[in-house]
A and B are shown apart, each in its own frame.
Chain A
């Protein structure tokens, strides 16, 4: 059937017509093959202008239109809607930008007119080979998955649940709470961390919309946005949470002692344990990695003997639970860079050289020393404590290049807390900079200096080592130019924040991109900080980058709102200008599969196929394919060839 395209050249007042001879372009276009109508008008985007287009489509039975006007960013949607109203498919309307890229940048009228004609012809050739397309729609599973039960995961889950959506919150340790539950007080308010966290934890446990799965790990995620299928491994705790009454008789008889993760190795715990008294779920867990011990290989059973409520069941088995969800939030948090990497600071071997989390546990009233600051080696009170900032951070040669953001603040906090506990103690802080940008942060640091007499020394510590029961600290004060030697009783290293252990493996399972430091990669560093590149997967908290609690909470709510944006729709709509495979030409070499940024192309039956929901239509696959066997709809290589010809011809 013969093509019948309508050409509409806009004057845009004098913006275009002042430089481009629009009438001559319209006349030239009228002679082009397949053009059934070619006119110019003063303001095509105005109501009369749009009506003119709609009328012409009906009167002249046009099957496609080209509007030569301003940038498509402005009015492509306007004219596509007009075309649709007139009864033709919206994708049969193309824009030729003869303003921003022609009349506004050229002075020579002859040349500008000539170029405008080429641009319009190019758009004509494209539109004549456009297919009619409809947006692709898929249904949405109205449930979300949150991976990680720290403050970020908890916040996201509560926001989603509060909005009326069902949420599955998966946490790999026996309790939610994350590192925030280990903290004593939080800056800058010195709020008790557990006091502000536990209400949220309880809310999670009680919320009807939240299915809490602790001691569980995500094994597999397949599918795509709106339609993810997840397999979750529920590890056996061997304790029935419905029966356990937290009497603690079992730990008294358990013979196995292992380092206590909650106290970061400062104390031990039994093989059957509760991580901390306010743990949610409120139940004990039997750690089957350490029980039974390697020698006996049979559980001693003493804990079950003393359990009055018969909560212990050695026959519990791991379960794989399958769930369908529509959106996923990854909030796997952080871990501290291990002290064993710090060669100059003793490889983590000295008992009195602690990292930030260990010092928190000393400060904590429910910690290993009931809130007294005592040296782990001899339980004496340290009178001189050195705090070293940037330990492992801002060190591109040896450790992490980036700044871990929170260390300046928590070091000031630690120094203050130390002074509050040990009135006659002296705290020294070795720093490169003091970064205290948040609300009340700067004032907080000044308090440490002015009220608590913390001495800040600007310089790095080159070496620490143990001698005669003291930790010798060799540093420098660059402001006075002097080298400093301190015989400290305790040293606290502000170790760098690293992505959580196991985050990398999880990211691979989810096919989430990571940045060069192993943190989860956001879709755009400025404008899309909570979205990942994968549609339907969002990021929250320290998993994405070092951050403090207020930022983590804000980001968690942001991620939740993005997830709600997906879950609140009946169906998801997606641009239909996606890639398609010409199977007769495809040989299944897989070069396109390797280059697709969205993993939207998969092997099938010796060839490949495109997941239209994941495809964003970038066309990289098409340029990679040696055989032109994969093309982007409405921007095929055929069309581009015609456009090249239109640009150069005549």
Chain B
């Protein structure tokens, strides 16, 4: 099992050798028990680094910001950036490599095993603890979490508090890495695409009822877009809020701006935005779950993207985020692709 010390030792080695600019890792947050992302620049700071079941964040998003930062610098530091990734997060890097958004040499991947359990869903945990606040959480062996609170220690079966996406995990071990910490473990509670199957069993009318109720809540905060590593477009085609008109903006660029949908958070426009996002993430979303975690109104966004991940596999035999050389889902086809839906 990977301990904090293991990660710290590796980080210290990297920073002391000067091999990396800085390392994107996890530290203990101000509440004392949950992880937060942290940028470690100096070897002395590595003791901040932690590794545990609260490390839910997909740190790969920060690589997108790093690229933007570098583009603005006159003489950028060209050393790679270190980043801690779980299995799911590493698939995000695979996608960014597929799309040549980052170069392999610009990132030093520290792959970490999330053991038999995956990470927790803090809301589920809060419900389980009935008001008690967790003080420490650790990975247990045998698919459980070891938790201490002020009222004592408790061992909870992972299936009860693990993140929804971990229950459907198809890659619980890093796919790409420069260094690997921990071992690949077996997770028995997985049921890939289980959440999607639940929706598929509903009738068409019930499905509409479900989604219209959920998407009506959307306030178009674009939190989902901001945390997604794959939403790295400078200009979002669906709805731009970044289009900065400057004296340099050409008339052509202004004329090309298409207004597909309205900005108002009414149901029809919300659905449009989320449909565009889902279709643009087809073959690219690797289910890190950040969009759903970031959503302030608890829309089950994963179930939208997951459906297309399932169809990619089922209809086209396409595995998302495993092979950096693979062409994008919509950039290839097989002769045997289904066409029974075509008249």
Contact = CB atoms under 8 A, between A and B. Distances in A.
In their complex, do chains A and B touch, with some C-beta pair under 8 Å? yes
A627 interface: yes
Nearest to B234: A585
Nearest to A637: B258
Contacts of A591: 99, 327-328, 330-331
A594 B327 contact: yes
B175 to A, nearest CB: 19
Nearest to B237: A628
A541 B331 CA distance: 33
B232 interface: yes
B237 A589 contact: no
* Chain B residues touching A, majority SS: loop
Nearest to B252: A582
B256 A590 contact: no
B256 A594 contact: no
A462 interface: no
B253 A584 contact: yes
Contacts of A585: 233-235
Contacts of B314: none
Interface in B252-269: 252-253, 255-256, 258, 260
B328 A631 contact: no
The residue in B99, B255, B258, B280 that gathers the most chain A C-beta atoms within 10 A of its C-beta is B258
A484 interface: no
A237 B158 CA distance: 74
Contacts of B233: 585, 587, 626-627
Contact of B256 (A588, A624, A626, A631): A631
Interface in A591-615: 591, 594-595
B292 to A, nearest CB: 21
A623 to B, nearest CB: 9
Nearest to A639: B258
B332 interface: yes
A590 B99 contact: yes
A641 B232 contact: no
B210 interface: no
A595 B331 contact: yes
A620 to B, nearest CB: 10
B280 A626 contact: yes
B99 A641 contact: no
Contacts of B234: 584-585, 587
Contacts, number: 53
B33 to A, nearest CB: 39
A251 interface: no
Nearest to A516: B335
Contacts of A641: 258, 260
Contacts of A636: 256
A125 to B, nearest CB: 13
Nearest to A590: B100
A637 B238 CA distance: 13
Contacts of A628: 237, 256, 258
A78 interface: no
B333 to A, nearest CB: 9
A638 interface: yes
Nearest to B230: A626
Given A594-B331, A594-B332, A638 B255 contact: yes
Interface string B75-90: 0000000000000000
B250 to A, nearest CB: 8
B222 interface: no
B330 A582 contact: no
A513 to B, nearest CB: 14
Interface in B199-254: 232-235, 237, 252-253
B255 A594 contact: no
B-side interface size class: 20 to 34
A586 to B, nearest CB: 10
Contacts of B280: 626
B260 A626 contact: no
B330 A638 contact: no
A627 B237 contact: yes
Contacts of B260: 641
B101 interface: yes
Interface in A433-472: none
A184 B317 CA distance: 52
A638 B253 CA distance: 12
Interface string B310-324: 000000000000000
A552 B100 CA distance: 46
B258 A594 contact: no
A129 B252 CA distance: 11
A637 B255 CA distance: 11
Nearest to A588: B100
A626 B260 CA distance: 14
A594 B100 CA distance: 13
Given A582-B253, A638-B258, A594 B328 contact: yes
Nearest to B253: A584
B234 to A, nearest CB: 7
A438 B256 CA distance: 58
B99 A589 contact: yes
B279 to A, nearest CB: 9
A212 to B, nearest CB: 41
B330 A624 contact: yes
Nearest to B332: A594
A131 to B, nearest CB: 10
B240 to A, nearest CB: 10
Nearest to B284: A626
A627 B260 CA distance: 13
B131 to A, nearest CB: 45
Contacts of A638: 255-256, 258
B256 A587 contact: no
A584 B330 CA distance: 23
Interface in B155-172: none
A627 B258 contact: no
Nearest to A624: B330
Contacts of A129: 255
Contacts of B328: 589, 591, 594
Nearest to B330: A624
Contacts of A589: 99-101, 328
A595 B330 CA distance: 9
A108 B101 CA distance: 55
B169 to A, nearest CB: 26
A619 to B, nearest CB: 14
B337 to A, nearest CB: 14
Contacts of B330: 591, 595, 624
Contacts of A626: 233, 237, 280
A227 to B, nearest CB: 28
A636 B232 CA distance: 23
| 10 closest residue pairs by CB, A with B | A589-B99, A594-B331, A591-B331, A591-B328, A594-B327, A626-B280, A638-B258, A627-B233, A595-B331, A628-B237
16 contacts: A582-B252, A582-B253, A584-B234, A585-B233, A587-B234, A590-B99, A590-B100, A590-B331, A591-B99, A624-B330, A626-B237, A627-B235, A627-B237, A628-B256, A638-B256, A638-B258
